[in-house]
Amino acid sequence: MSATAKLAWRGVSKRFDGPPVLDGLDLEAMAGRSLVIIGGSGQGKSVTLKLALGLMRPDAGSIQLDGEDIERLPDRARRRLFSRFGVLFQGGALFDSLTVWENVAFRLLNADGVRRKAARDQAVEALGRVRLDPSVADLFPGELSGGMQKRVGLARAVVAAPEILFFDEPTTGLDPITAAAINALIVEQVKRLGCTAVSITHDLASARTIGDEIVLLHAGRAVWRGSPIELDSTKDPRVRQFVDGLPNGPLTGP
Amino acid sequence: MSAVEVIRRGPNPLRLLGRLALGALRQVGAVALFAARGLAAVFSPPWFPAQLGRQLLSIGYFSLPVVGLTAAFTGAALALNIYTGGGRLNAEQAMPQIVALGITRELGPVLAALMLAGRVSAAIAAELGAMRATEQIDAMRTLSTDPFRYLVAPRLIAGVLVVPLLAAVADTIGVAGGWLVATRVLDFNPTVYIRNTTSFLQAWDIGSGLVKAAVFGFIVALMGCYHGYNARGGARGVGRATTHAVVSASVLVFAADYLLTSLFAHT
């Protein structure tokens, strides 16, 4: 197990209208480990992810990848960083106008200059890894169920063997059986690639399955960090309120 | 509370005016920056020819019926109106020339652009707005593909290339509409009508209309892209973006039409 931080948020603050969403967030995702960020709605989970993905810029603080501040990189270099990332979006974010294989091979075709035949072969192979039959390759996303769309999104995220995988609420909207299947696929793919993973979720079952470390985000800060086992054994009242789903407690005030 | 205090605390018209002016300036600045980014994407690689082909079809080919029908009816109605007006000055015989000039310099490009503002600007705004709402644009960025190059640039290029072609079609069909009414309803000689039209028209009459159409094509595509790309707030936001795209494209087409007509007035 490596002890170096692959990705780090250092004193990151972000505000829209109203109080800050992130307020000096300090957080690290260790190389080769799976970090899961949990927390209530509006506590800054999505913003934390979007900042790491370069889809937003912080008001203060820095996001560091392998110790390098990505905010200081010129735009072109920042764009190149994306080739090291794979992302599974909450709703899949598949392109409606493209077939399943074109979705999976989107980066290969449009950024890496891979020829269509080779890209299609790689896409079909990636679909197989997420237990999808090659026959779905020529369907459009609208013809797939929610669970299948998530699998296609996962295939798209892993097809180019990224260094860091991001999962945005990977099991939201899925039934428990499909959610368990997606969790198992995530664990399998992260292990196969040996990459770092950062996930945000409300789903504690998912967090326990896919996470090596879990962080509770509250009021724009990381207020607790531990393993999935510690999540259930800790006496920290904030974690207890979140895990036990209590309406009153330190997270919601008196 | 004194009257002075009521005035001080009440809505200040100057402040309101200032806020409106600042809002308008902010909007103009945002559109200008978006256009500059779009143009930079047009002129720098990578380009996506398949996307361009798709947009050429969507914006151009599928708009032919609506542009053709509108031009035909407008040409026919214009012929009738000019014949009526010309009759008051005993100048009915000038009708073919005026119809041709009106269609090629003004109505052909403006009608084509307005039809596209309704059909294409709205479609672009709805498509990009839905892509924004479902995180497809964010996903594209994380897949190392610049949405300005993949989504915006092909639409801008297609708009500039296709609207002049549609305007040329509108010119032809509009003049034909006028010819049909003139020869079937107003007893004009078909051959004389065509001869009068072709001998009167100058190349720049058609050329200036096509230049206008290229500018209008850019405006129509730009407004669709701008409002769709910046859509916020789910389905409601997409609906709002679509409305704003159509309204702003139509108004800007008229404004650009006046500016370009002033520029070309003595040519």
**Domain segments of chain A as ranges:** 5-244
Q: Is residue B2's pLDDT more than 70?
A: no
Does A53 sit within 8 Å of B142, measured CB to CB? Answer: yes
Partners of residue A164 on adjacent β-strands: A85, A196
Q: Is residue B207's pLDDT more than 60?
A: yes
Q: What is the CB neighbour count within 10 angstroms for residue B71?
A: 27
Q: Is the peptide bond before A176 cis (omega within 30 degrees of 0)?
A: no
Predicted pLDDT of residue B20: 92
Question: What pTM value is reported for the model?
Answer: 0.89
Q: Is residue A2's pLDDT more than 50?
A: no
Predicted pLDDT of residue B7: 60
Residues 88-127 of A with CB under 8 A from B: 89-91, 93-96, 106-107, 110-112
Please report which confidence band the pLDDT of residue B1 belongs to, taking 50, 70 and 90 as the band edges.
low
Q: Report yes or no: A161 at the B interface, CB cutoff 8 Å.
A: no
Residue among B202, B200, B218, B223 at smallest CA distance from B260: B218
Instruction: State how far the Cα of B204 lies from the Cα of B186, in Å rounded to an integer.
Output: 29
Please report which confidence band the pLDDT of residue A173 belongs to, taking 50, 70 and 90 as the band edges.
confident
Q: Name the average pLDDT for chain B.
A: 93
Give me the residue from A85, A110, A156 closest to B150, CB to CB. A110
Q: Is residue A174's pLDDT more than 50?
A: yes
B124, B132, B142, best to mutate vs chain A, most A CBs in 10 Å: B142
Average pLDDT of the residues in A48-59: 93
Q: Which CATH architecture does the domain made up of A5-244 adopt?
A: 3-Layer(aba) Sandwich (3.40)
Tens-digit pLDDT profile for residues B126-156: 999 999 999 999 999 999 999 999 999 999 9
Q: At residue B90, what are phi and psi to the nearest 5 degrees?
A: 55, 40
Instruction: State how far the Cα of B211 lies from the Cα of A60, in Å rounded to an integer.
Output: 48
Q: Report yes or no: A140 at the B interface, CB cutoff 8 Å.
A: no
Domain ranges in chain B?
Answer: 49-264
Tens-digit pLDDT profile for residues B37-47: 999 999 999 99
End-to-end CA distance of chain A: 41
What burial class does residue B88 get, using C-beta atoms within 10 Å of its C-beta: 0-12 exposed, 13-18 middle, 19+ buried?
exposed
Give the single-character DSSP code of A67.
T
ipTM, interface predicted TM-score of the complex:
0.91
Q: At residue A48, what are phi and psi to the nearest 5 degrees?
A: -60, -45
Contact list, A156 vs chain B (CB under 8 Å): 143
Least confident range from A68-82, B20-34, B229-243: namely A68-82
Does B144 sit within 8 Å of A79, measured CB to CB? Answer: yes
CA dihedral A198, A201, A203, A207 (to 10 degrees): 20
